[in-house]
Structure 1
């Protein structure tokens, strides 16, 4: 008989979560059973809740899990029961992108992590009274007391690690930090702006600050977040509600424009502002999870001076490589995640979503 656990089930978009018993599938040979300690709330979760990201419902989401391994499949060799772990996204390991060290661009990334709600072969990891529900979200569905994950998306951290602080590393923090560190590859003397000072954007600010650019501008509409960005290394802050962002960036750069920009919002108008704020040969990297079909308006003449725009998934990061580096930065006090986190119980998930959406909490973390 399948084991049971408690999980927050979303039955339909924009409805409250219901905490109830669900059944966990028996482990396959490369799977891992993790007792969840904490799970971060990410804007991708919010996108599913809002109905903008397709996912089979009723189902269990959550994809910034951290916990303790209770059981491993017969073929698992790198993880053992008792290990403390952070969960991230999964990938096939065999396609050209995976073999080239870019698993975030796995050929089967979307069905494996977002859309299918089941394993690659279509079998469920979660059921209710024997009937399948959406699960396997980022190969974890970690808004639950236990998660069935895969060896590829489980990263072992130290036995003394504070899992509540480290849970956001698996998606939001890794995406923000990796986008600046890997995709933009900001270097000293750059002129950088980060649009959106949520958990992703602030992680990008930290990454950029470590590279010591000449200018590091944070753009947001929440004053408290802009203040935090300045504390984390931004040299300037712009409130998009109060100032003309493009004009202010032109002023700060002496008319030269930005060398690098990072848009975390997924809002087309913000993406357009970021493009307009670039200088010649400037590079914009954009992430976010807007509904499919969302477009950024571009002035063709405006991008002719060598401007480039590229999307990024998960910071173009290999979790097995970047997450241990981020753990070290947290331990050294150079990535102060505690400044971003507010804790909630699983039964308070609706409040956590509301607080994140309204901007009153940067990074909600569910403590199981």
Structure 2
């Protein structure tokens, strides 16, 4: 079947819309017609690092849509179901069996790139990014990353749930699990940081947001932050919990000093190495915790987030800016330049 996909054809190159062929779903695969897809910074980082040997490549890992067809072995969804797409996991390793699919021992299945489902002019096109490659009008997905959602829940809000929103909210709900009245300091007011803010407010926490952009600080206050500050402002021993979404070594060091005794720092942002004062960590009994995908099981967390949004307690729509699929490169540049928080591509009607 012929579809339209946004290809990256050279390392670090732009998204280019091309006609490609997609194979019929095999026994364990699902064909999803994409209605909306969020752009995550992981997509933008990976297109700059992707090896030339696995190009052209289709990225995208925050898809939402409708099941078009399913293989004979698929029992979890059927044609016509509305679904949200998340990360893929094997379902059988020790981590998956322990209810921790974000730490699947075969997690490379999300980022290795495969050439078995897509082609162009008889030549392979790589896909399978996070088990979906949703920067396309159709995607092949799997039972482990295809979550059925209510038919009346807008795809434009469902799409970002699968990664960025899940990461921020899951870090609060699953990893930090704050009590009412706890102070949470969030470093960075992008999609992940503001999702963490929304989650913390449902727990009646006092939230401080550290963010360089004035417009984002203003939005954070509108969403319930008790205080917003610029990165240079010193915060010392004020927080029960801290979340770093930046991956910046200097920010991580500041996050440690912002914690009270026995506080926890959740590291969410992608980065390199960072240095912290060991005596501060030891004397304060501070915990530093790496977090992937908010420690979430999408089949449990995503329905909870949908219910919160429908109840008016998780105003995700305040973070979203929509673009037609054809404007994907403009949306990507707006995200890189900080003009949008969560760009969501629309494929036809929202």
TM-score when scaled to structure 1? 0.91
Displacement after TM superposition at 1:53 (Å): 9.3
The CA distance in 2 between the partners of 1:238 and 1:12, in whole Å, is 40
Given candidates 270, 277, 284, the residue that maps to 2:251 is 270
Contact 2:175–2:294 (8 Å) recurs in 1: yes
| Structure 1 runs not aligned, ≥5 long | 251-255
> Comparing 333-342 with 197-206, which one deviates more in the overlay?
333-342
Q: 1-side partners of 2:270 and 2:33: how far apart?
A: 28
Aligned residue in 2 for 1:117: 113
Say if 1:71 and 1:333 are closer, same or farther in 2 by CA, change over 3 A.
same
Q: Look up the SS of the partner of 1:80 in the other structure.
A: coil
The corresponding residue for 1:150 is 142
Q: Determine whether 1:219 maps to 2:205.
A: no
Secondary structure, counterpart of 1:127 in structure 2 = strand
| Structure 2: gaps spanning 5 or more residues | none
**Number of the residue aligned with 1:72:** 70
Q: Distance in 2 between matches of 1:54 and 1:280?
A: 48
- Specify whether residues 53 and 162 from structure 1 end up closer, same or farther in structure 2 by C-alpha distance, changes over 3 A only: farther
Q: Number of aligned pairs? A: 346
Q: Tell me the equivalent position of 2:224.
A: 233
Query: Relative to structure 1, is the Cα distance of residues 83 and 55 closer, same or farther in structure 2, using a 3 angstrom cutoff?
Result: farther
Alpha-carbon displacement from aligned partner over 1:146-168 (angstroms, at most 9, x marks no partner): 00000110011111111112210
Match of 1:258 in 2: 239
1:309 equivalent in alignment to 2:307 = no
- 8 Å contact from structure 1 (residues 102, 318) kept in 2: yes
CA distance, structure 2, for counterparts of residue 221 and residue 55 of structure 1: 38
In 2, Cα distance between equivalents of 1:95 and 1:269: 36
In structure 2, C-alpha distance between the alignment counterparts of 1:342 and 1:99, rounded to whole Å = 37
SS in 2 for 1:133: strand
**Deviations, residues 110-130 of structure 1 (Å, cap 9, x unaligned):** x1111x102xxxx52222223
Please list, as runs of the form range in 1=range in 2, the aligned pairs for 1:1-368 lying within 5 A after superposition: 3-51=1-49, 56-109=54-107, 111-114=108-111, 116-118=112-114, 124-213=116-205, 215-240=206-231, 244-245=232-233, 247=234, 249-250=235-236, 256-290=237-271, 294-305=272-283, 306-368=285-347
Q: Give the stretch that moved more between structures: 43-52 or 142-151.
A: 43-52
Following superposition, the deviation at residue 200 of structure 1 comes to 0.6
C-alpha deviations, 1:292-319, integer Å up to 9, x for none? xx10111222211211111100000001
Distance across 2 between alignment mates of 1:50 and 1:274:
28
Contact 1:48 1:54 in 2 (8 A): no
Q: Is the 8 A contact 2:10 2:52 kept in 1?
A: no
8 Å contact kept, 1:47–1:289: no
1:49-103 deviations in Å (ceiling 9; x for gaps): 3328999322000000000110001011120101111000110101111111110
CA displacement at 1:133 relative to structure 2:
2.4
Tell me if structure 1 keeps the 8 A contact 2:238–2:260.
Answer: yes
